[in-house]
Amino acid sequence: MELFKKDILRYEDELVNRIIPFWENHCVDHKFGGYFTSLERDGSIYDTEKYMWMQWRIVYMFALFAMSPYRKETFLPIAAQGFDFLTKYGKSLDGTYYFALNRKGEPSVAPYNIFSDCFAAMGAAALFKATGEKRYREEADSAMKSYLRRMDAPKGRWEKSLPGKPKRLSLGHFMMLANLGAVMKEMLGSEEYEKDADNAVNTVLERFWNPERKILFENINADGSFDLDSCEGRFVNPGHGLESMWFVLQYAERKNRPDLIRKGAEIIRGIFEFGTDREQGGLFYFMDALGKPHIELQWDMKLWWPHCEALIAALYACRLTGDGYFLDRFREVDAYSWTHFRDREHPEWFAYLDRAGVPTHTLKGGKWKSFFHLPRALYFCIGEMKKIDAHE
């Protein structure tokens, strides 16, 4: 039985004929190097700022697709020129990556954010896998070590909080470390970061997950306790939770840990139950663990990336557990996403919807959206669907 035959064709057509060409045709800055990510609905450029997360994510994805069944000869040069631009202009004096550059490559925002190093490691590692060139491996290791070094004080001297603010641990730092471990293992063939990945996975599962409330918290106290007396402590991000859990399931499968598969699937179920908008469909952006007013005004919006991560998480859990609940969740999120986020007139998907599912912005890329969550979701979902059909 080929359960996903039509879905695979639909996902492949969207990826190969609409999403990849949109970015290939519009994102490359042929004059200065790097990429444009602030792209309007039709691919026209509305801002030339170059945000480091978005830049390195594009490097990673084109390098990844250069090694995929969908590869084209143009993909690797696109990734390589981005690497050259970013390594030439993107580093501060201490070796950490700036948050943003202007079009020419001059620093425009300080290196206050640890995830610039995270995505640099991913992009460089993928280029090494694709080419075998030593300089890419060296940069991947350098950026990875910078990320690890900064974990305890991610913002460094750019931290604006004072001693009166409680010390928190952030889910995002650990979930990305779990993913980085997998990427470094796959792309570099290295065991060097396995213990770091082990620690990250254990921290996410044992400290951020609250089994009584069935909630994966975004922030916890430094001692591992939950703070239900503050907005920051009660903060829940369903998209982050689902993304972190497919990282965990990926790790659990690689390590042959059925116990972690069961726990990861349990958490995915909890996130879907808590984070789904049963009145108007889709997943909430931000939530409060106790249902109190959320400090972020956009809390009830529907964003493209949580739904992308939900699709991957549901299929991973479906394949690894065989539980039909996760197939139902995939079908539900798939139907919502393709109905509301997909732009039928132009390639690429809308990023931001109101609670009712109506687009609030026409942009296809910007400060937080580039060639990453959507193409990664389509690609990984294709792989999972093919595996499920092969097993069936």
pLDDT digits 0-9 by tens, 304-321:
999 999 999 999 999 999
Q: Hey, CA dihedral for 69, 194, 371, 110, is it positive or negative?
A: negative
**Distance between CA 324 and CA 314 in Å, rounded?**
10
- Convert 262-294 into a string of H (helix), E (strand) and C (coil): HHHHHHHHHHHHHHECCCCCCECCCEECCCCCC
Angle among Cα 310, 235, 229 to the nearest 5 degrees reads 155
User: Please, are residues 61 and 376 in contact by the beta-carbon 8 Å criterion?
Assistant: yes
Mean pLDDT of the region 222-246 = 97
Q: Which residue has the tokens 């798939």?
A: 334
Helix, strand, or coil (residue 369): coil
What is the reported pLDDT for 2? 86
Query: How much is the average pLDDT of 109-132?
Result: 97
pLDDT tens-digit readout, 25-52: 999 999 999 999 999 999 999 999 999 9
Q: Which amino acid is at 2?
A: E
What was the pLDDT predicted at 219? 98
Question: Rounded to whole angstroms, how far apart are CA atoms 9 and 102?
Answer: 39
Average pLDDT of the residues of the chain? 97
Q: Between the CA of residue 86 and those of 89, 290, 344, what are the distances in Å?
A: 5, 43, 34
Pairwise CA distance, residues 82 & 61, whole Å: 11
In the predicted structure, residue 241 carries a pLDDT above the cut 80: yes
For CA atoms 211, 212, 217, 223, the dihedral sign is negative
What would the pLDDT profile of 277-300 be if each residue is shown by its tens digit? Answer: 999 999 999 999 999 999 999 999
Task: Tell me how far apart the alpha carbons of residues 132 and 385 are, in angstroms, rounded to a whole number.
Answer: 30
The answer to whether the CB of 300 falls within 8 A of the CB of 284 is: yes
- Judge contact between 233 and 199, C-beta under 8 A: no
pLDDT at residue 106 tops 80: yes
Task: State residue 180's pLDDT score.
Answer: 96
Check residue 174 and give its pLDDT: 96
> What's the rounded mean pLDDT across residues 89-101?
96
Evaluated on CA atoms 204, 206, 207, 208, the torsion sign reads positive
Q: Burial-class residue 202 by CB neighbours within 10 Å (0-12, 13-18, 19+).
A: middle
- pLDDT tens digits, one per residue of 262-278: 999 999 999 999 999 99
Q: Strands (DSSP E) along 77-177, which ranges?
A: 100-101, 107-109, 168-170
- Residue 102: CB partners within 8 Å, gap ≥ 6? 48, 49, 50, 108
Q: What is the pLDDT of residue 391?
A: 85
pLDDT at 169 (0 to 100): 95
Provide, rounded to the nearest whole percent, the portion of the chain with pLDDT above 90: 97
Predicted confidence at residue 392, as pLDDT, reads: 67
Residue type, 164: G
Residue showing tokens 């993928």: 126
